[in-house]
Structure 1
Amino acid sequence: MAASTAASASASVCTTAFGGSSPNALPWRSCCHACPPPPDPCLPVAGHGIDGFRGRLSVRHAWSARWPKSAWPPMLTWIEPRGLAISLCVLGLPLGTGLSLAMDAFGSRGSGHWRDRPLAAWLVHAGSWGLCYVLAVALLQRGALALATTLTLQWVVQRSHQAKCQSLKEPFLLQDFEYFLDAIRHPRLYLPFFGIGLALGASLAALVAVSVFIILEPWLLDHLSLSSMAQLLSGLAVGPALALVLGLRQLPAATLVPCRDHDQLGLWSCFWAYARFPRSPIDTTQAPALLRQPPSPVAQDSLPHLVIVQGESFFDPRPWYNRIPRNVLTHWDRLSEQSITHGFLKVPAWGANTIRSETAFLCGLNEDALGMHRFNPYRQLARQPVPSLASACARMGYRTLVLHPYPGGFYQRDKVMPRLGFQAFEDIESFRHCRRDGPFIADAELARRVAQALDDPDPRPLMVFVITMESHGPFLLEPAPDPLRWLTADASRPEDVTHELDIYLHHLANTDAMLGTLSETLARQSRPGLLCAYGDHVPILSPSYRWHGEPEGTTPFMLWSNRPGTTPLRESPSDLSQLAEALLDAADWQATTFATGSLGHSLYRHCKEPL
């Protein structure tokens, strides 16, 4: 009778490790009849932190049922879920801090500079990482998972830092964290530089690792009450908090020279230095006088049309690589010869960050005038009105228009452009059905839209600011040209260099053709007109730069008039922040030469008189 009862018990349905009393559940088998079945995880259990339901598949319970602690060797009795959970949390703090410091020292730009960093920078790094780890433990309830998660997130930031240094010659900054959201909205602009394969592989590895940790690692709330867990987390946070406070007291201030700051402070401490830097409003008194106090809109009929083109990644590559055909910029060469002035400009961006160049041109503010806002000026310009070329032209009687065939919310242009004085902003929604060349709207479509605006019967002069997109990289994502359109075959040149460079030259020639079309359109107008064109920054051509070296980083500009014989400017600009004033100066001379002269004298007076 007892034997049959024992057999019946051994074949009973398990309602513990496999969650419930379903008829299809597997039978529970004990190693001996003296071993009681483990508790049901689907029922509330007292003494385990939060009373509640824990209805999930528990490998740990199945383990403890088959190998009870009484059967373990004496040296292994300390390895129990409660002790293991606490030990992993405690050991993860010093282990992770050391690994994090090593990652920053040896995995960042200029790894040799870590030897010269002050002690305060190391304390800030250790304290910051430690507090992030404690926060991860509190959220994830698993020490090893928190350690892996925090180090992985640091690796993502550090990999982004390396990619930015390679592509943009600038380290990862505190202001760049918001671009992670942009990378989700506009993956083509960001992920290729991070590495598409690397991003997919890292995501898959993270998914597998998280799944393994969740299944195998003990959960703190299974073994600690809320008060005990609070004591554990508080104890873990004391050391990092003390290190952070002591480090911040002695941390050097940021110089706003990103590479220098990063070399001196390291990645984490650089974030803190930039976060603590004063953020005062932009000093508008440093804007050019003519933008702050434009002349009254008199003699409107003599005001010239102003067509301004900011060419995406536009630069003259022929001095950089002499194997590039001269005729790639045929129209540019012709217009430069006929121009009021032309040359090369120092621009505040390399490879990207177009809004820095836009701000320098439209507002006439250089990096020193912008202060901390130099890295993403549109964040401040979306809140603070600043005098600009557009607002000055609007007060003079111009109708002001900006064309940019990309989503208007990118960089908050849809908010910034009206604040700068543009009366109309046409983004990608206005170009939905236009032809593309590569992944972006063709530059020729922008020339067509400018011609329509110039032919508008509105009697007011037009000031239009064109921000092109066709020449935006990455160029290696576009199909390799076959046959080559601009380069000749060269066995000594790497294949990826030939691919990317020929694609870029194709788009560069299209921008050149657009400028030729715009000059012809202005030449047909009865009203005087000025064409101003410049490049926002040099393109990202990483394989080409590694193979042939980097260009200087300046971009070309020119001011061309549809009225031949216009007097050249007395002083040609050398910095992009000086170009808007030069443009209005050219408009001054053109109005003086081809009209009654009243407007020209007014412009000249307001430009030269001190305010």
Structure 2
Amino acid sequence: MILDALARPRRGKRIAPRSAAGTCLLWLLTALPFGLFLAISGNLVASAGLALALVGLFTMISNAKRAMLGEALVFSDLALLGAVFRHPQFYFSALSRVQKALLAMAAPIVPLLLWAVFVGEWHMHLTGLAIMVVSVLLLTSAPELQPWAGIARVPDSEGDVQRHGLIATVFLYWMRWRKSADPAPLLPLPGKPQDDELAILIQCESFGDSAVLFGDTAPLLPALAAARVVAWSQGRLNVHGFGAYTMRTEYGVLFGRSEEELGFRRFDPFLTAKGESSFALPARLKEAGWRSIFVHPHDMRFYNRAEIMAAGGFAELVGEDRFAPPSEGEGRYVTDAAMADEILKIAKHAQGATLIYAVTIENHGPWKAVTAGNGLAGEYLRLLGNSDAMLGRLADGLAALQRPATLVFFGDHRPSIPGVCEPDVSGAAGDRHTPFVLLRFGRDGRPIVGEEGDLDLTPAQLHHHILDILRSSASRCHRAQQTIADGAG
């Protein structure tokens, strides 16, 4: 109880007990690994110690995550365990050196300890097995029984961890998520775009307005400033995550389902995205004549993008094999300049109406001071300048093509930089928004300036904003063709 009570957020500074319902669930959830360890070792004391250590480990990792990303552990984080080992640089940066050392030592200690304390009294092993089986049976039925059936019905991770505890909340959310159903499929949209129309959507890694993040003394982003002047629309994108959870923003813009509609699926909507494929932009636009291409210079198995994007209607996936590895001095990931080159190349040779959705990665953390006097913020800002330059190159390149085009550029989340740019964990929601700009180009290559002013949109609302623009473009094209046909008649 004390270990779980240490998990943040807590009610004030004191360690207060959780609800009775949450405490009972904690006992059952602790009894499960205790029974497992007892079934393996037969040692009562060692099994109890390991079960308590597991609760402590859960709490430590959750608190480290919350300090860096602004939220406690959620059930969907456990689905990423495989990715943690395939791409450790994305995850272990949240832990201190001491925490990393403790994890490294704990990994071999657990099996060695179970072997060292093994007791040959088989009745203890059978007792452990019985405890484990009973725990599983009770945990399977508990969420549908009172009082558990009446709590944690709506996602509120901050409040539920305070009220019921970390481990109980993770378990209840997982059980609620398992029972969520796929929505009824949507029909593709009719209509016909302009034959050579382009729509390019750029999801830019950790892109934020430098003045908003670091104050007026931060270097300016000239391409963003220029784009805002001639934008059809621009404003703030109110993303769900801070410092991570790219897939939440990506899902929102691509699939257009709000957090309220997603319910418990909101924490990692990619886990269930294949069951919602008809909502994806490419699937909706396909019947209208659009061909869609997904571009991401990384392993497409990450977040299961290869399967999700294919199911969502993308005709082609352009992955890491199309990009040369970054050269010395360019960083760990494919540069935004290389991305701009590839995107413009695809756009130049695109036949017919084409949608390109691209996910960049150059400015992915953690950041390191690579030169003397260049702190973490300095390295982030250097890479942010590269992202800004990408926006400028794409805008100029699309204008030069002289095809009707829409360019949408937005940040997936703010950066999490220890001591520099951190989430608000005081209990307030805190600012998490990133900038977005939407540019439209006519056939003469000139930008078409809109009159909507600054907009505050969620990723799902941006999806529908884009869809409305592409549909209105198709409607105007249809009316123009009808006028020509009537005149010829």
TM-score normalised by the chain length of structure 1: 0.70
Q: How does 1:505-520 map to 2 (within 5 A)?
A: 505-520=381-396
- Tell me which amino acid in the other structure corresponds to 1:202: L
Name the counterpart of 1:583. 466
Change (3 A) 1:180 1:330: same
Residues 188-207 of structure 1: pairs in structure 2 closer than 5 A: 188-204=89-105, 207=108
| Distance (Å, rounded) in 1 between the aligned partners of 2:259 and 2:142 | 32
| CA shift in 2, pair 1:268/1:452, >3 Å | same
- Which deviations, in whole Å up to 9, do the C-alpha atoms of 1:100-159 show, x marking residues without a partner? x11111244326586463212111111221232021110133333323332333232222
How far off is 1:230 after superposition?
A: 5.6
Query: Which position in structure 2 is the counterpart of 1:57?
Result: none
Deviation at 1:233, TM superposition (A): 3.6
What are the residue-to-residue correspondences of 1:199-348 with 2, within 5 Å? 199-204=100-105, 207=108, 211=112, 214-215=115-116, 217=117, 219-221=118-120, 224=121, 226=122, 228-229=123-124, 232-233=127-128, 249-251=146-148, 252-254=150-152, 255-277=154-176, 279-284=179-184, 292-297=187-192, 300-301=194-195, 304-327=197-220, 329-348=221-240
Q: What one-letter code is carried by the residue in structure 1 that aligns with 2:225?
A: D
Task: Name the CA distance, whole Å, in 1 between partners of 2:452 and 2:481.
Answer: 19
Please name the residue that 2:372 is paired with.
482
Query: Which stretch has the larger CA shift, 573-582 or 371-380?
Result: 573-582
Measured in 2, the distance between the counterparts of 1:348 and 1:547 equals 12
Aligned length: 469
Paired residues for 1:21-170 under 5 Å: 101-110=1-10, 112=12, 115=16, 117-170=18-71
Q: What is the deviation of 1:453?
A: 0.5
Tell me: CA distance 1:386–1:139, structure 2 relative to 1, closer, same or farther (3 Å): farther
In 1, are the aligned partners of 2:210 and 2:218 still within 8 Å (CA)?
no
Q: Which residue of 1 aligns with 2:404?
A: 528
CA distance in 1, matches of 2:447, 2:26: 62
The residue correspondences of 1:423-502 to structure 2 (distance < 5 A) are 423-433=315-325, 435=327, 437-456=330-349, 458-475=350-367, 478-484=368-374, 499-502=375-378
**Change beyond 3 A, Cα 1:344–1:501:** same
Which residue type is aligned with residue 151 of structure 2?
A
Shift of residue 531, structure 1, vs aligned partner: 0.9
| Alignment equivalent of 2:438, drawn from 553, 559, 579 | 559
Judge conservation of contact 1:335–1:560 (CA < 8 Å) in 2: yes
Match of 1:568 in 2: 450
Q: Give aligned-pair identity as a percent.
A: 23
Q: 1: CA distance between counterparts of 2:397 and 2:142?
A: 65
Residue by residue over 1:233-254, the C-alpha shift from the partner in whole angstroms, topping out at 9 and shown as x without a partner, is 4786799789967896322431
The answer to whether 1:398 aligns with 2:290 is yes
Matched, 1:387 2:279: yes
* TM-superposed deviation, 1:352: 0.9
Deviation at 1:336, TM superposition (A): 0.9
Letter of the 2:439 partner, please give it.
Answer: W
Residue by residue, what CA displacement relative to the aligned partner does 1:175-215 show, whole Å, maximum 9, x if unpaired?
21122221111100001112354223432256457646644
Q: 1:305-352: CA deviations, max 9, x gaps?
A: 11110111111130343253343x101100110111111121122211
Cα distance in 1 between the residues matched to 2:355 and 2:119: 65
Following superposition, the deviation at residue 473 of structure 1 comes to 0.6
Whole-angstrom distance in 2 between the partners of 1:280 and 1:397 = 33
Partners of 1:134 and 1:233 within 8 A in 2: yes
What's the secondary structure of 2:263's corresponding residue? helix
**Residues 600 and 527 of structure 1: is their aligned pair in 2 closer, same or farther, counting only changes over 3 Å?**
farther
Give the letter for the 1:552 counterpart: D
The alignment status of 1:419 with 2:311, answered yes or no, reads yes
The two structures, once aligned, show a CA RMSD in angstroms of: 3.1
**Offset, 1:163:** 1.7
Q: Give CA-to-partner distance per residue, 1:49-102, whole Å, 9 cap, x none.
A: xxxxxxxxxxxxxxxxxxxxxxxxxxxxxxxxxxxxxxxxxxxxxxxxxxxx11
- In structure 2, C-alpha distance between the alignment counterparts of 1:116 and 1:146, rounded to whole Å: 24
**Who is 1:496 aligned against?**
none
**Match of 2:386, as an amino acid?**
N
Q: 1:104 to 1:523 in 2, by over 3 A?
A: same
Letter in 2 for 1:155: G
Q: 1:481 to 1:323 in 2, by over 3 A?
A: farther
Question: Amino acid of the residue matched to residue 556 of structure 1?
Answer: P
Q: Which amino acid aligns with 2:83?
A: D
Q: Is the partner of 1:385 in helix, strand or coil? A: helix
Distance 1:533 1:232, change over 3 A: closer
Q: Structure 1 residues 183, 547: CA separation in 2 closer, same or farther (over 3 Å shift)?
A: closer
Q: Distance in 2 between matches of 1:312 and 1:293?
A: 30
- 1:435, 1:442 within 8 Å by CA — same for their partners in 2? no
Q: Distance in 2 between matches of 1:206 and 1:400?
A: 44
Instruction: Please say if residues 340 and 393 of structure 2, whose CA atoms lie closer than 8 Å, have aligned partners that are also in contact.
Output: yes
Contiguous gaps of at least 5 residues in structure 1: 1-100, 485-498, 602-611
Distance in 1, Cα, partners of 2:463 & 2:276 = 20
Q: Distance in 2 between matches of 1:269 and 1:263?
A: 11
CA deviations 1:238-288 (Å, max 9, x no partner) are: 997899678963224312111111111102211231133163333357x7x
TM-score after normalising by structure 2: 0.86
Q: 1:267 to 1:600 in 2, by over 3 A?
A: farther
Aligned partner of 2:299 in structure 1 is 407
Q: Does 1:186 align with 2:81?
A: no
Distance 1:211 1:261, change over 3 A: same
Q: Which amino acid aligns with 2:3?
A: M
- Whether 1:541 aligns to 2:417 is yes
Q: Which amino acid aligns with 2:409?
A: A
Judged with a 3 Å threshold, the aligned counterparts in structure 2 of structure 1 residues 118 and 355 are, in CA distance, closer, same or farther, namely same
Give unmatched runs, 5+ long, in structure 2: 484-489
Task: Return closer, same or farther for 1:536/1:599 CA change in 2, 3 Å cut-off.
Answer: farther
- SS where residue 349 of structure 1 aligns? coil
